[in-house]
Structure formats: C-alpha cells, structure tokens
C-alpha cells in the first residue's frame, strides 16, 4: 500500500471521525410540511382548471441536449449566456443541460412524437427548472414552473384564451393585486426595421450605455429595452417603439386579442418596452405582475412563438404559451395572509399495549377506507410509551378525537373515544363494530 493510501486508513486506536453534515445546494430548496400542503393545493387547483379548459398534461425530462436550449432560446440571452447548468455526460460525452424553462423541451417532444399530425394541441406541464442566478427572495436556482402551451393554432383567440385561463387561475387561487401588461413584438420583418432604428437611436446615446448594453447593441438590441439600469431609463424611454413598426396584419392580431380581453372584462395596460427574455417570441407577449413581491414581481409571462417549432426541426406551426413561477405565486398567497390548508388528522389512535396493535390497526384501516384521516401512535421500538406521553402526542397532533385502545375495553369489544377539541375531555365508548359507522356519520362535520 502506498504511503498516501495508508494515511487514509484510520488507525485502530483512533475513533472514526463523525461524518460531516451535508447540506443542500445553494438556491435549491426543500419543500417541507406544512408548506408542501400549499403546493399540493395549488397543483390541485391548476389541474381542475386545466381540465375545464381542455388542456392536457405532459411530463417531460428534466435533462435535455444543450443544443435544444441554445437553438431554441437564442445564444444572446441571459439564460444561455450565463444561467444554464450544463455538463458533459461522463459515459458518452453528450452535452446536456438541466432544463432552464419548459417550452423548448415541450416543442422538442411535440415534434419528436409528431403530435400536431392530427391538429392543434393544448398542453400544460408542472415541474422544476434550473437557472444559475443569484438566490434572493423569489429567485432560486431550482424553481418551479407551471406552463400552458397551445400549438398549431395561429389565431388571436388562443392568445386570449391563454390569458383568460391565467386570469381565472388568479381568481381560484384568490390572488389580488395582479396586473396584466401586454405588448406585440410583431413579425421578424417588422422587428428588422425597428431594430435598425433602435440601434441608430442607441448608438446616438452610446455614452450612457452600460457594458451589457454595448455588448448587445448589435446582437440583441431589443433586450436593452428592458434594462433595469436607472442611468439608461431616459434613453430607452425615448427609443423607437416596436408597436409603431407593426404592419396591418400584426396590428389586427393585437387588436383582436385586446377586443376579447375587453369583452371579458380583463384589464391590461400596454407596455411597449415589454420584450421578454427569450428570442423565440413574436406578436403577442404579456406578463402578469404584482407590486406585493418587491423586485421579483413577475409571476407569469408568455407570448406567441410561431417560429420555434420550425427552428427545432419541426414542420412550421404557430404556437403560444405562458409559464408561471410557483414559488412567486405561493409567496403572494402567503403575503396576502391566506391560511394554510388544514393538515390535522381526524383521529389519533392511542395504543397503550403492543398486544392491541393488530386490532387497532385493523380498525384504523377501516376508518381510512371510509375517508377518515387517522394517525396512529408509533412507539420507540421498545413498547408504545406511557399513556401520558401518547395522550400528549394526540393533543399536539390537532386531531379532533383520540381513539384509545385500552386492554380492558378491547376485551369487551369496545374502544374509548375522547374529544380533543370541541368539548375537550368528553369521553365515551363505542363498540368496535359500530365505531366505523360513527366515524362515517362524523364525516360531514369533521
Ligand atoms: P425574471 O425577469 O424575473 O428573471 P424571466 O423573464 O427570466 O423572469 P421567465 O423565463 O419568463 O422569467 O419565466 C416565467 C416565470 O418563472 C417568471 O415570471 C417567474 O415567475 C418565474 N421565474 C423565472 N426565473 C425564476 C427564478 N430564478 N426563481 C423563481 N422563479 C423564477
Ligand atoms: Mg430571468
């Protein structure tokens, strides 16, 4: 054995070092109870609403080929330039990336499986996304999006339908204080004309442009419009507006979306500087924004991406979609003081002797089968613990009733039922044969 290896072998007399505590990756959060109940509740609301709009769920891989995002999102975007978790597969050298967003993968899948063969599709997804950003409130390195995408339809009615869907979601989630901003990015030729005018304008003011803006001046000048640099605000405000470069058909599309929103009482404001972070957008773009979350106030963003499918190798097809940030939506719900869903069990089973476990657990199974949520006391491995400690646990569980499986009662085919909340302390016995009926009758009040 080499000297170096010998050094790593613990000497017999030495006590083995305690393994070091491992912690999670910065910006990647554990979602634990009771918070996870909010997540489940939100996901349930989303599923119900999506079904009501006839959108179908897709579940896609978290890892995709890096080229998909480089080609799909655009090389000169924040995500591709600096935020992707990319790595080489050690076994076969493939270049892979943890998905930073959901649209590119969804389009890849739709093309790969020829899903548009029999006509348009309305789809949605939920899941984690990964971006190497500076972690702060509302901005994480692993975060979650819910996205809705409509592929194969070019009309403004689906843009409007998606906005109505998101707007309905805020209603079912009880969100207040969310506003909608709308813009149109036109078509590539219109953008080309605007781009030339924009570059000319920005070049005239090159003295106030920051490094990033200078770098993007010729590669992605549109993105300069949504700079947060206060020193550049007056220049970008005076910049030529893309809306003024739209032709008749782009304007008609934009006006049709607005007319449907107007008819449905959805308020919005036009923000000519709304450009969105990915290159793939055209025509309608929109964001839902709240002022209650500080600077991370955009909870949902989306738009039309009629050229992405072709860019990813599919047959040219129009598409439109949005994605919302689950953490930000939940943060807003919390901010508004919404109560957590009730996680307390209906009954807590106190089991003084291990001998009672088979009967008790059989009964608990019957209760659960009829919809009662039942938490069983679990012992240390050396018996069930004292009655007093079990009772304490029952109390702190928040259960409405304790079921006490005492040996004397069980011998007579009975179980004691003790109220823990309303009329706390009231105790009576139920026959083992009727306790399920009793619990069932309680269901309406539990
Ligand atoms: P931002 O301007 O806040 O960085 P974005 O334009 O990069 O947002 P999109 O790519 O449009 O965001 O993603 C849609 C939504 O996903 C955002 O509106 C936001 O709610 C959420 N989101 C984006 N990045 C993060 C992140 N790092 N952490 C948490 N949520 C995020
Ligand atoms: Mg971003």
Integer Cα distance of 141 and 133 in angstroms: 6
Name the nearest CA neighbour of 276 among 265, 262, 258, 289: 289
Other beta carbons within 10 Å of 368: 14
Predicted pLDDT at 12: 57
pLDDT digits (tens, 9 = 90+) for 286-317: 999 999 988 889 999 999 999 999 999 999 99
| Residue 31 vs residues 142, 328, 334: alpha-carbon distances, Å | 11, 14, 15
Q: Please report where in the chains the tokens 């149109």 appear, as a residue.
A: 184
What average pLDDT does the segment 221-248 reach? 92
Question: Which of 99, 133, 183, 301 maximizes ligand 1 atoms within 8 Å of its Cβ, making it the mutation to test the pocket?
Answer: 301
CB 111 within 8 A of CB 312: yes
Higher pLDDT, 222 or 52: 52
Q: Exposed (0-12), middle (13-18) or buried (19+): which is 231, by Cβ within 10 Å? A: exposed
Q: Do β-strands 179-184 and 282-289 pair in parallel, antiparallel, or remain unpaired?
A: antiparallel
Residue 196: pLDDT over 70: yes
Predicted pLDDT at 440: 78
pLDDT digits (tens, 9 = 90+) for 204-231: 999 999 999 999 899 889 889 888 899 9
- Centroid of ligand 2 to alpha carbon of 132 (angstroms): 10
Residue 7: pLDDT over 90: no
Predicted pLDDT at 343: 85
Higher pLDDT, 6 or 217: 217
Higher pLDDT, 154 or 421: 154
Least confident among 38-52, 244-258, 329-343, 366-380: 329-343
Closest residue CA from atom 23 of ligand 1: 325
- Among left, alpha and beta (phi > 0; psi -120 to 50; other), residue 31 is beta
Integer Cα distance of 255 and 264 in angstroms: 14
Work out the pLDDT band at 341, boundaries 50, 70, 90. Answer: confident
Q: 3-class SS at 302?
A: strand
pLDDT digits (tens, 9 = 90+) for 11-20: 555 678 899 9
Name the nearest CA neighbour of 110 among 282, 304, 313, 280: 313
Integer Cα distance of 41 and 26 in angstroms: 26
CATH top-level class for 347-442? alpha beta
What average pLDDT does the segment 32-48 reach? 96
Q: Do β-strands 401-404 and 347-350 pair in parallel, antiparallel, or remain unpaired?
A: parallel
Predicted pLDDT at 339: 79
CATH top-level class for 35-186+246-335? alpha beta
Residues, the chain: 446
Question: Which of 134, 145, 173, 225 maximizes ligand 1 atoms within 8 Å of its Cβ, making it the mutation to test the pocket?
Answer: 145
Predicted pLDDT at 13: 57
pLDDT digits (tens, 9 = 90+) for 261-270: 999 999 999 9
CB 103 within 8 A of CB 305: yes
Predicted pLDDT at 277: 76
Q: Please report where in the chains the tokens 């003790």 appear, as a residue.
A: 418
Among residues of the chain, what percentage have pLDDT more than 70? 96
Predicted pLDDT at 258: 98
Task: Calculate the average pLDDT of the chain.
Answer: 93
Among residues of the chain, what percentage have pLDDT more than 90? 83
Q: Ligand 1: does its nearest atom lie under 6 Å from the Cβ of 168?
A: no
Considering every ligand atom, which ligand is closest to the CA of 332?
Answer: 1
CB 148 within 8 A of CB 169: no
Domain boundaries, the chain: 35-186+246-335, 347-442
CA 173 to chain centroid, in Å, comes to: 14
Integer Cα distance of 84 and 438 in angstroms: 57
What average pLDDT does the segment 392-417 reach? 95
């Amino acid at each position: 054995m080499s000297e170096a290896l010998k050094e790593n072998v613990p000497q017999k007399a030495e006590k083995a070092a305690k393994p070091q505590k491992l912690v999670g990756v910065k910006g990647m959060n554990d979602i634990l109870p009771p918070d996870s109940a909010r997540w489940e509740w939100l996901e349930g609301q989303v599923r119900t609403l999506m079904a009501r709009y006839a959108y179908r769920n897709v579940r896609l891989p978290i890892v995709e080929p890096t080229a998909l995002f480089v080609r799909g999102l655009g090389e000169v975007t924040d995500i591709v330039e600096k935020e992707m978790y990319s790595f080489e597969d050690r076994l076969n050298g493939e270049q892979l990336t943890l998905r930073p967003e959901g649209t590119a993968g969804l389009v890849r899948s739709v093309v790969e499986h020829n899903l548009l063969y029999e006509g348009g599709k309305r789809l949605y997804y939920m899941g984690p996304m990964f971006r190497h950003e500076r972690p702060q409130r509302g901005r994480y390195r692993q975060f979650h999006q819910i996205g809705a995408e409509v592929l194969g339809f070019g009309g403004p009615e689906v843009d409007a339908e998606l906005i109505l869907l998101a707007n309905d979601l805020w209603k079912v989630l009880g969100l207040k204080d969310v506003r909608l901003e709308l813009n149109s990015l036109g078509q590539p030729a219109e953008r080309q004309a605007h781009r030339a005018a924009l570059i000319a304008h920005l070049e005239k003011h090159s003295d106030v442009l920051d490094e990033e803006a200078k770098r993007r001046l010729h590669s992605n000048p549109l993105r300069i419009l949504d700079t947060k640099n206060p020193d550049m605000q007056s220049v970008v405000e005076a910049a030529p507006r893309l809306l003024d470069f739209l032709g008749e058909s782009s304007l008609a599309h934009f006006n049709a979306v607005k007319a449907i929103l107007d008819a449905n009482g959805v308020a919005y404001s036009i923000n000519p500087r709304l450009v969105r972070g990915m290159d793939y957008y055209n025509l309608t773009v929109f964001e839902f924004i709240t002022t209650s979350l500080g600077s991370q106030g955009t909870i949902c963003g989306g738009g039309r991406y009629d050229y992405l499918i072709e860019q990813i190798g599919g047959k040219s097809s129009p598409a439109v979609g949005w994605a919302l940030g689950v953490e930000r939506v939940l943060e807003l719900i919390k901010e508004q003081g919404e109560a957590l869903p009730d996680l307390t069990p209906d009954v807590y089973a106190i089991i003084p002797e291990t001998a009672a476990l088979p009967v008790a657990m059989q009964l608990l199974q019957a209760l659960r089968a009829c919809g009662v949520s039942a938490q069983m006391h679990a012992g240390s491995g050396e018996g069930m613990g004292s009655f007093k400690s079990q009772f304490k646990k029952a109390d702190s569980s928040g259960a409405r009733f304790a079921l006490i499986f005492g040996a004397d009662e069980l011998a007579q085919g009975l179980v004691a039922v003790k109220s823990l909340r309303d009329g706390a302390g009231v105790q009576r016995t139920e026959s083992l044969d009727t306790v399920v009926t009793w619990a069932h009758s309680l269901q309406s009040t539990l």
